[in-house]
């Protein structure tokens, strides 16, 4: 393992110290906890709290700021934060209008955030939850725990955050979050694995010519492996799965997120977004906005995911609303 770290046990602590020292105008730390909140908060609006394992930067601390999150909870690397940490975040950001928890659909995240919600309710804090399940790679049958939540979660942060900023009630913010979840689909692939610092070795191996299709964001294996193909062919395959699950009609407005997993050059992400744009245009869809870059990473994993969000008038307005956070600035 070759990494720019001091001690594997200290990576989360030192990263959080780094985020706060780099972005004091945006975020502050809840002392004693792995929780970042808005520097100026709490404010008298519905608050959004999200979080998950560390290693997905800039998720989630990078999205704390105006128009997106009020609090972010960082677990150990690729491990959901514990209920007491989430509870601290909820207490720190609640401005009296209630708190929405944005949870990615992973068993551990759901359980820990549920326990935190129980703790908050016991203290009479109004809490609602939304579980994001945008990854079409895995089956959505009745016998699974459902789809994973991956990069499409960033759209939930953005649009529900905009609704909260506009003064929406907790019920309205939750409704928007659920509408985004219902309309966003994602899928990813990997060229190379990543190494969790505490484990010290890659969580899986791929041969030189192999790629993994349908990866999650924790280095957990995808649905299958195949020989490497051209960028266009890979995008074709991922988009086919995304559009099969959520067909885009001619005239439909969409937003696109081409998300790097941490180890892929921006050049390659743009080659991907080029093909995505061609395919959507071919369907007669209108792409309102495309985001390209590292939003929900997996340490240094090479690869990317594509998220497509179908818009209506309300979602489009919230998408285009301003946001000002360390990793997402829009005027």
Helices (H), the chain: 11-22, 83-93, 107-122, 153-165, 170-183, 231-245, 266-282, 313-320
Q: Kindly tell me which of 75 and 260 has the beta carbon lying closer to other proteins.
A: 75
| Degrees to nearest 5, angle at CA 83 with 80 and 89 | 95
| Closest CB 265 distance from other proteins, rounded Å | 25
Q: Kindly tell me which of 78 and 304 has the beta carbon lying closer to other proteins.
A: 78
Radius of gyration of the CA atoms of the chain, in A: 19
Q: Under a CB-based contact definition with an 8 Å cutoff, are residues 26 and 62 in contact?
A: no
Helix (H) or strand (E) holding 133: none
| Closest CB 137 distance from other proteins, rounded Å | 8
With a CB cutoff of 8 Å and minimum separation 6, the contacts of 319 are 155, 158, 159, 162, 255, 288, 289, 309, 311
CA dist 147 → 88, 134, 142, 323, 326 (Å) = 28, 7, 11, 28, 29
| Closest CB 150 distance from other proteins, rounded Å | 11
Catalytic machinery residues:
56, 218
| Closest CB 78 distance from other proteins, rounded Å | 5
Q: Kindly tell me which of 75 and 168 has the beta carbon lying closer to other proteins.
A: 75
Q: Kindly tell me which of 115 and 320 has the beta carbon lying closer to other proteins.
A: 115
| Closest CB 68 distance from other proteins, rounded Å | 24
Q: How many CB atoms sit inside 10 A of residue 275's CB?
A: 20
Q: Under a CB-based contact definition with an 8 Å cutoff, are residues 126 and 99 in contact?
A: yes
Q: Kindly tell me which of 297 and 325 has the beta carbon lying closer to other proteins.
A: 297
Question: Which residues contribute to the site for other proteins (CB under 8 A)?
Answer: 53, 75-85, 106-108, 111-112, 115, 137-139, 143-145, 148, 196, 198-199, 203-204, 216, 218-221, 223-224
């Amino acid at each position: 393992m070759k990494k720019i770290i001091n001690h594997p046990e200290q990576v989360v602590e030192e990263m959080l110290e780094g985020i706060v020292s780099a972005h004091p105008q945006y975020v502050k730390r809840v002392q004693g906890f792995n929780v970042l909140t808005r520097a100026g908060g709490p404010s008298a609006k519905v608050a959004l709290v999200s979080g998950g394992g560390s290693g997905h930067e800039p998720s989630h601390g990078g999205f704390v700021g105006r128009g997106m999150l009020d609090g972010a909870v960082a677990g150990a690397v690729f491990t959901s934060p514990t209920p007491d940490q989430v509870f601290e975040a909820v207490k720190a950001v609640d401005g009296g209008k209630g708190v929405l928890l944005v949870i990615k659909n992973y068993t551990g995240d759901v359980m820990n955030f549920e326990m935190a919600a129980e703790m908050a309710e016991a203290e009479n804090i109004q809490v609602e939850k939304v579980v994001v399940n945008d990854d079409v790679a895995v089956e959505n049958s009745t016998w699974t725990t459902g789809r994973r939540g991956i990069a499409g979660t960033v759209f939930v942060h953005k649009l529900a955050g905009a609704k909260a900023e506009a003064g929406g009630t907790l019920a309205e913010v939750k409704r928007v979050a659920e509408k985004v979840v219902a309309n966003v689909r994602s899928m990813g692939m990997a060229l190379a694995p990543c190494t969790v610092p505490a484990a010290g070795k890659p969580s899986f191996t791929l041969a030189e010519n192999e790629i993994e299709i349908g990866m999650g964001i924790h280095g957990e294996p995808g649905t299958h492996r195949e020989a490497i193909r051209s960028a266009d062919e890979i995008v074709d395959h991922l988009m086919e799965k995304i559009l099969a699950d959520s067909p885009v009609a001619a005239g439909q407005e969409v937003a696109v997120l081409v998300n790097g997993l941490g180890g892929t050059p921006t050049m390659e992400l743009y080659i991907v977004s080029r093909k995505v744009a061609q395919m959507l245009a071919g369907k007669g869809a209108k792409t309102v906005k495309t985001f390209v870059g590292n939003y929900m990473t997996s340490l240094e994993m090479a690869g990317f995911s594509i998220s497509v969000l179908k818009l209506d008038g309300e979602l489009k307005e919230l998408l285009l609303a301003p946001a000002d956070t360390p990793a997402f600035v829009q005027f």
